Chains A and B, each alone.
Chain A
Amino acid sequence: MLYREAGDFKTSYSADSQTFPIRFDRWGYYVVLALAFGVVPFLINDYWASAVLLPFLIYAIAALGLNVLTGYCGQMSLGTGGFMAVGAYACYKLMTSFPDVNILIHVLLAGGVTAIVGVLFGLPSLRIKGFYLAVATLAAQFFLVWLFNKVGWFYNYSASGQISAPTREVFGIAVTGPEASAAAKYLTCLSLAVLMAWIARNMTRGSVGRKWMAIRDMDIAAEIIGVNPLAAKLSAFAVSSFFVGVSGALFFSVYLGAVEVTEAFGIQKSFLVLFMVIIGGLGSIFGSFAGAAFIVLLPVFLKNVLVGGLGWATDLAAHLEIMILGGLIITFLILEPHGLAQLWRLTKEKLRLWPFPH
């Protein structure tokens, strides 16, 4: 009934290793999913979709991707923005070259293209670690953005240098382009976010995930028990880039509709996603969502409170917003360096014993 393990006996190893071992928890997630799929699409409007839900879901996918690489495999990356750009441009080229193919397939293929690019830029990780690797991935960030600006083929030689998503349909309903409704966009992003989270969970609980974590925690020991460091690191780069590529494709095609690479996928995007992962919790699927929610929702929330609630001037509120956000990030990191996911974990541990903590 309550948040308890007692009486919830596991009789097989697969039941014991399931994602939500506590029944209450499991049902909680089912309810959230049911609401997200069944109720929210009927209530959603353009403001909620474009200010809150779409960026949250899309950034959550990017954060999942970076979490696979940094949180699970321990490889620092500052190239997230660049890899999102690869996803976006791959999606654009696919959409314009093969207009008859389903957009969802294009989005996933764009992820695949990004995975290949990610592996290429992941090669230095075999020789360099930590901050030095971060600097090497920074090269990827700048190179990719430069490439998409410089080579006209990528943006089909459009005069503005922008790429804009043509209208594409899924099951006869437009999900990209100006006619797409908020609900359709939302459901597309939600479905992909759920799919991606499920894949990430599966990969991190099995032998692939253990290889990544072994490399993260102690690479020498990992190699001595039989983990091929080359294969493990590159697979992390591939999977991570796949996720980031999918998020970039969605960011461009479904969310913004038209992007200019320097503006949309610059270095600040890389840092933004990195903040999400750090605040949410490294090495946690839940943390990726929590971090994305924190970074996306807090500014919106603060704006509503300061401008809408207290009636302050917009510019003053905008400055305060940045200061409060920065302050909160620092406070959080001091109080709980392992992020929101760890806070959540501790809360759950307490809940299990509540109301008799001894």
Chain B
Amino acid sequence: MTDAQAAQSTVSADGRTIGEVVMEMKNITLRFGGVVAIKDISFDIREGEIRAIIGPNGAGKSSMLNVISGFYHPQEGEVFYKGQKRPSMRPFEVARQGIARTFQNIALFEGMTVLDNVMTGRLNHMHTNMVQQALWWGKAQKEETENREVAEKIIDFLEIQAIRKTPVARLPYGLKKRVELARALVAEPSILLLDEPMAGMNVEEKEDMSRFILDVNDEFGTTIALIEHDMGVVMDLSDRVVVMDYGRKIGDGTPDEVRSNQEVIDAYLGVAHD
């Protein structure tokens, strides 16, 4: 990261502070055998912003998210996190660095209650050892209560109090998505990755989810990187947008810049026929 980039701290129109670059992807190339999923892509995510990644199906968006969360290891290129080059890491190590995510097809723990699911999001903040837990004495109990308080704040924030003791398997789709957001959020991540947070939702649920995403960003200052297909939502929510097509980056900039980019229009947005 250069000094010039670090200095670019801006305050956006609605008063949020967009800070320096927190994550930078440099010339990432990811191959599966002969298939090139991501080809030489570079972009950055700045602190406090909502960064969208869009593109047609199969463009490599989810692969990109998987590279960020340590699930795939790119053959070429480097990931810089908080100014430091990130070595090759297992996903749980990435999570411990403060990167949380949700999944395209909900990946909740179906056998557990909503509360337990949210509490698993706090695991990286819980450090008592097994013996302390087995005896449930002092420290283990105190830690549990402290983390429960944080979990309850997020449960309040996302308005899922009424279902906190319900097994996740019994919940409808929209609520599951919200619980998954809660689980990611409760980890107090420095970057929150959302893989199609609004897929399969109706308009009302989409509006709810958009509001929650904006609130999260606003209230906790969480940096958010999201993949979404609903262009209206993307253009409204995000500060900057990366556009991918066939593993290449074809556009990067504010929603307005992207919307008027001819290559993006050809590949993805299309033109209105009236």
Contacts and interface: CB of A to CB of B under 8 A. Distances in A.
A225 interface: yes
Nearest to A72: B111
A256 interface: no
Contact of A224 (B91, B108, B112, B152): B91
Given A202-B136, A206-B144, A221 B107 contact: yes
A221 B187 CA distance: 14
A218 B148 CA distance: 22
A210 B183 CA distance: 13
B92 A213 contact: no
A203 B145 contact: no
A302 interface: no
A206 B136 contact: yes
Interface in B107-126: 107-112, 116, 119-124, 126
Contact of A14 (B71, B109, B145): B145
A227 B183 CA distance: 13
A227 B69 CA distance: 13
B90 interface: yes
A224 B95 CA distance: 6
Given A203-B134, A208-B130, A217-B111, A223 B92 contact: yes
Interface of B is mostly: helix
Contacts of A221: 103, 107-109
B96 A17 contact: no
B128 interface: yes
Interface string B175-202: 0000000011001000000000000000
B30 to A, nearest CB: 17
Q: Which of A222, A226, A227 gathers most chain B CB within 10 Å? A: A226
A191 interface: no
B119 A210 contact: yes
A214 interface: yes
A198 B135 CA distance: 8
Interface of A is mostly: helix
Interface string A188-211: 000000000001001101111011
Given A13-B149, A218-B109, A203 B123 contact: no
Contact of B123 (A205, A207, A283): A207
Q: Which of B100, B130, B152 gathers most chain A CB within 10 Å? A: B130
Interface in A233-265: 235, 239
B268 to A, nearest CB: 28
Interface residues of B, number: 42
A225 B133 contact: no
Contacts of B148: 13, 17
A183 B116 CA distance: 41
Contacts of B91: 223-224
Contacts of A228: 90, 92
Contacts of B149: 13
A14 B144 contact: yes
Interface string A10-49: 0011100100000000000000000000000000000000
A327 B121 CA distance: 43
B144 A225 contact: no
Nearest to A209: B133
A220 interface: yes
Given A17-B144, A202-B136, A207-B123, A226 B109 contact: no
A218 B135 CA distance: 28
Given A13-B148, A223-B90, A226-B92, A206 B111 contact: no
B92 A224 contact: yes
A299 interface: no
Nearest to B145: A13
Contact of A227 (B123, B140, B144, B184): B123
A225 B98 CA distance: 10
B187 A226 contact: yes
B10 interface: no
A213 B145 contact: no
B61 interface: no
B46 interface: no
A216 B112 CA distance: 10
A229 interface: yes
A199 B131 CA distance: 9
Nearest to B180: A221
Contacts of A227: 92, 120, 123
A218 B130 CA distance: 22
Contact of B100 (A206, A223, A225): A225
Contacts of B84: none
15 contacts: A13-B148, A13-B152, A14-B141, A14-B145, A202-B134, A205-B136, A206-B140, A207-B143, A208-B130, A210-B112, A216-B111, A218-B108, A224-B94, A226-B96, A227-B123
Given A12-B145, A229-B92, 7 more contacts: A13-B144, A199-B135, A202-B136, A206-B133, A225-B187, A227-B92, A283-B111
4 tightest A-B CB contacts, nearest first = A226-B95, A221-B107, A217-B109, A202-B136
